[in-house]
Amino acid sequence: MKKIDEYQGKKVLVMGFGISGINAAHLLVKLGANVTANDKATPKNNDIVDDLEADGIKVITGDNPISLANEGFDVVVKNPGIPYDNPLVAAFVKQGTPIITEAELGWQIFDGHLVSVTGSNGKTTTTTLTQLMIAENAKHQVKYAGNIGISFSKIAEDLGSDDTLVTELSSFQLLGAPTIHPHIAIITNIFSNHLDYHKTRENYINAKLNITRNQTKDDFLVINWDRDEWQKIAQRSQATIVPFSRLNKSHEGSYVEDGMIYWRGQEVMPTKDIRLIGPQNVENALAAIAAAKLSGVTNDAIKKVLTTFSGVRHRLQYVMEYQERLFYNDSKSTDIEATEVALQGFDRPVILLAGGLDRGYTFERLVPYFKKHVKAMIVFGECKDKMKDAGNQAGVPVIESEDAITAVPEAWKLSEPGDVILLSPANASWDQFPSFEVRGDKFIEAVEELTGKKEQ
């Protein structure tokens, strides 16, 4: 941990009691700040409040009182999910109070080698693969943190100057990380996500590009080269560009040619040996390989990781095989693009479980994928009628169910040996579940109840 004094004696407001907010509040006390912690909800677990107050932190719950904007805070550390049009946040913006996220605080105290990953899809898998690859050859600690569910600042506290940290960073986190400066930054892809938060696609792209804002020619931006738009986006960085591509050969980075992965013209391994299924995971592997090779990792270490790693929970996660049916949990597929790539990963008939929060869009884009890959559909949630319409257009049998849990036995009734039963909702979970993780866990529990087996 780097010694810093910029918070000594400063008055800091932490907004949000998530894992990152709680860790940030305690860290700020260690850094000499006078800390107030605020959450709009009242925690069900009193231990959270007790622990904060025991550390000398003033705690305010049940509201974001606008009066806090008049208390002279020097800095606000905001939970990334709190939008900037929140009245209290907007008041701080208007008066020019610096607003950062916990990722910025983590960067400020981190003294080692930083690799950061962002993108619309594939962030967590790419982050995990990159950490595992670098750790295979490392003589020092290699950890991961960030949007992957582990507090950046908490891990940064325990790492030294020789250690490496691989961080997954969302667009929400990057908006509040003005000085973050990874030596290696990865952009997996950029689609049109979170426009309810960012308002426009250009705002969303700009937020993602904060990952490379402070990079120089001595740093590296590893970026997907499979779309012209992403190639143009790369031109907005001052870093040395390192492309990765499943479709375009480029000797400046990692790519696929005739079923073989190459790094700058040298063979690494066949794509068929990657344990993770689907073209999206080839792309995730290519991104991780580029970062790993830039970090001095050997081909043998890369092969070991890619031939053994079976996936991140909720991200096209293999659950089990039962009576010749394969169950997959892809609850993290909260947008159309993610479900598109998930379906392309299977050469068996798929019974698709899909639906969720209605964000106002329709699903015509999925019709060709339904025609090619889907045998039957079970739909649920607010947008089930729109999802059903797309299934009907594709000529696929569609059954309505209550949610992702009740859909499991319905899918089983429709299945035959050789089928895949896939939860890949193409929608957020918030209409029925507090998070995609809970939705995926409940799906797995339903599969276990159906089969009498535990996930593998």
SS3 at position 282 = helix
Q: pLDDT category, 135, cuts 50, 70, 90?
A: very high
User: Residue ranges of the domains in the chain?
Assistant: 11-100, 103-308, 317-450
SS3 at position 191 = coil
11-100 folds as: Rossmann fold (3.40.50)
> Dihedral sign, CA of 50, 51, 53, 57?
negative
> Model confidence over 395-432: pLDDT tens digits?
999 999 999 999 999 999 999 999 999 999 999 999 99
Contacts of 114 (CB under 8 A, 6+ apart): 107, 164, 165, 167, 180, 181, 182, 183, 184
Query: What mean pLDDT do residues 50-55 have?
Result: 96
First-to-last alpha carbon distance for the chain, in angstroms, is 38
Instruction: Please state, in angstroms and rounded to a whole number, the distance separating the CA atoms of residues 429 and 408.
Output: 16
Residue 222's H or E segment, with its range, is strand 220-224
Q: Check residue 197 and give its pLDDT.
A: 84
Q: pLDDT category, 154, cuts 50, 70, 90?
A: very high
List the Cα angle 403/452/398 in 5-degree steps.
30
Whether residue 111 is predicted with pLDDT greater than 80 in this model: the reply is yes
CATH of domain 317-450: 3.90.190.20
- Which residue from 200, 221, 206 is spatially nearest to 287, judged by alpha carbons? 221
CATH class of 103-308: alpha beta
Question: Over the chain, what is the mean pLDDT?
Answer: 95
Whether residue 31 is predicted with pLDDT greater than 90 in this model: the reply is yes
> Model confidence over 340-397: pLDDT tens digits?
989 988 989 999 999 999 988 899 999 999 999 999 999 999 999 999 999 999 999 9
Q: pTM (2 decimals)? A: 0.82
- Asked if 236 contacts 246 with a C-beta cutoff of 8 angstroms, the reply is no
> Model confidence over 67-98: pLDDT tens digits?
999 999 999 999 999 999 999 999 999 999 99
- Which residue from 268, 246, 267, 242 is spatially nearest to 255, judged by alpha carbons? 246
Number of other CB atoms surrounding residue 417 within 10 Å: 7
List the Cα angle 154/221/334 in 5-degree steps.
65
Question: Strand pairing partners for 421?
Answer: 327, 351
> Model confidence over 208-235: pLDDT tens digits?
999 999 999 999 999 999 999 999 999 9
Q: pLDDT category, 52, cuts 50, 70, 90?
A: very high
- Asked if 206 contacts 140 with a C-beta cutoff of 8 angstroms, the reply is no
Query: What mean pLDDT do residues 43-61 have?
Result: 93
